[in-house]
């Protein structure tokens, strides 16, 4: 297979499996949207507006004031649709201004697998506990 | 008419798994209840606006996945919290035996943040059985019947504002 074809395949796979799964957003200190890769949701209509209008849960995360924060599994509504994310926030300084770089990864596939395992574990523990209490 | 401020507060619901944290949130936000138990993974976030006097308060409700001990919860979920609801199941003593240890641990991470102790699933026990519960609590609730659900969140909101 020609090398150029590998590169095409790689770029297509990257587009489908990586780029499309990650929403990245650059915010200023006031949490206004400056720029985004606009996957998951098109944020262009929100440029210059507060990111909290789209992702209200970010408010209490941006205010913490630590350089890097990760929430590994977060479930919240986006346009009335329930979405499971991994959320990473990095803050940095540039020319005396603070900026935030937010990465929201869609982790639906990971969630479904984990959910099944956790549900079985929890149900088993609760059933065992209830059986002991009934004795 | 609202003439006051609009504030935003983060509330976390913590406690053992299967105690009804998600059901309490669902009842409060959507006035819905289901008997089906669906475990929460990570954190589920909902929003509800409440009116306190002349002010509007955006409550961001973080329903955190239940664990046997709060020390097993990722501390990043607690960051920036303004109020805590500790939920236990009145029918399962294992869910309240560790309550004070758990609350002490969380309060070290979140000093001066108000905490409410909520005894949930009151509909499963008789009054006599409830009277025999060995721990004290602020509200006896039922997410199923909605008993005291609204009152719990409003009380916490008032405590967060004062």
Q: Tell me how many residue pairs between chain A and chain B have CB atoms under 8 A apart.
A: 78
Instruction: Tell me the ipTM for this assembly.
Output: 0.86
From chain A, the residues in CB contact with B77 under 8 A are 71
Q: What CATH number does the domain containing B13 carry? A: 3.40.50.300
Q: Are residues B87 and B81 in contact, defined by beta-carbon separation less than 8 angstroms?
A: no
Q: What CATH number does the domain containing A69 carry? A: 3.30.450.20
Task: Decide if B37 and A123 are in contact by the 8 Å CB cutoff.
Answer: yes
Higher pLDDT, B118 or B54: B118
pLDDT over threshold 70, residue B1: no
What is the percentage of chain B residues whose pLDDT exceeds 90? Answer: 87
List the 37-66 stretch of A: residues with Cβ below 8 A of B.
Answer: 56-57, 59-61, 63-64, 66
Does A132 reach chain B within 8 Å, measured CB to CB? Answer: no
State chain B's mean pLDDT as an integer.
Answer: 94
Distance of CA A47 to the CA centre of its chain: 19
**What radius of gyration do chain B's Cα atoms show?**
15
Closest alpha carbon to B87 in B98, B76, B72: B98
CA end-to-end span of chain B, whole Å? 22
What is the Cα–Cα distance from A135 to B137, expressed in whole angstroms? 27
Taking only the tens place, the pLDDT of each residue in A17-65 is: 777 789 999 999 999 999 999 988 999 999 999 999 999 999 988 888 7
For residue A114, give how far its alpha carbon lies from the nearest alpha carbon of chain B (Å).
8
Task: Report the number of distinct structural domains present in chain B.
Answer: 1
Q: Which domain holds residue A20?
A: 3-108
Task: Report the number of distinct structural domains present in chain A.
Answer: 1
Residue B1 lies in a domain: no
Residue B148 lies in a domain: yes
Q: Which domain holds residue B99?
A: 6-161
Give the relative orientation of helices B21-30 and B149-161 as an angle to the nearest 10 degrees: 90
Residue A122 lies in a domain: no
Residue A58 lies in a domain: yes
Residue B93 lies in a domain: yes
- Phi, psi (rounded to 5 degrees) for A69: -140, 140
E strands present in chain B? 6-14, 43-52, 55-64, 83-89, 115-120, 139-140
Task: Decide if A115 and B41 are in contact by the 8 Å CB cutoff.
Answer: yes
Residue A61 lies in a domain: yes
Residue B41 lies in a domain: yes
pLDDT over threshold 70, residue B2: no
């Amino acid at each position: 297979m020609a090398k150029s074809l590998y590169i095409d395949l790689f770029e297509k796979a990257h587009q489908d499996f990586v780029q499309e799964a990650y929403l990245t957003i650059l915010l200023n200190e006031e949490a206004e949207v400056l720029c985004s890769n606009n996957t998951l949701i098109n944020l262009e209509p929100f440029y210059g507006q507060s990111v909290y209008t789209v992702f209200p849960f970010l408010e209490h995360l941006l205010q913490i004031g630590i350089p890097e924060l990760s929430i590994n599994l977060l479930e919240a509504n986006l346009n009335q649709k329930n979405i499971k994310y991994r959320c990473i926030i990095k803050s940095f300084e540039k020319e005396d201004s603070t900026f935030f770089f937010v990465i929201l990864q869609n982790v639906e596939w990971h969630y479904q697998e984990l959910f099944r395992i956790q549900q079985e574990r929890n149900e088993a523990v609760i059933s065992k506990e209830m059986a002991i209490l009934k004795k | 008419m609202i003439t006051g401020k609009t504030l935003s507060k983060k509330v976390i619901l913590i406690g053992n798994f299967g105690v009804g944290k998600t059901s309490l949130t669902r009842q409060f936000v959507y006035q819905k209840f289901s008997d089906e138990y669906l475990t929460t993974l990570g954190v589920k976030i909902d929003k509800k606006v409440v009116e306190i006097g002349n002010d509007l308060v955006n409550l961001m409700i973080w329903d955190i996945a239940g664990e046997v001990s709060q020390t097993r919860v990722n501390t990043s979920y607690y960051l920036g919290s303004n109020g805590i609801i500790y939920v236990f199941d009145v029918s399962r003593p294992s869910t309240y035996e560790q309550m004070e240890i758990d609350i002490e641990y969380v309060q070290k991470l979140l000093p001066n943040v108000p905490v409410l102790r909520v005894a949930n699933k009151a509909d499963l026990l008789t009054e006599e059985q409830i009277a025999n519960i060995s721990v004290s609590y602020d509200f006896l609730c039922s997410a199923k019947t909605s008993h005291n659900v609204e009152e719990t969140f409003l009380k916490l909101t008032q405590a967060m504002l004062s």
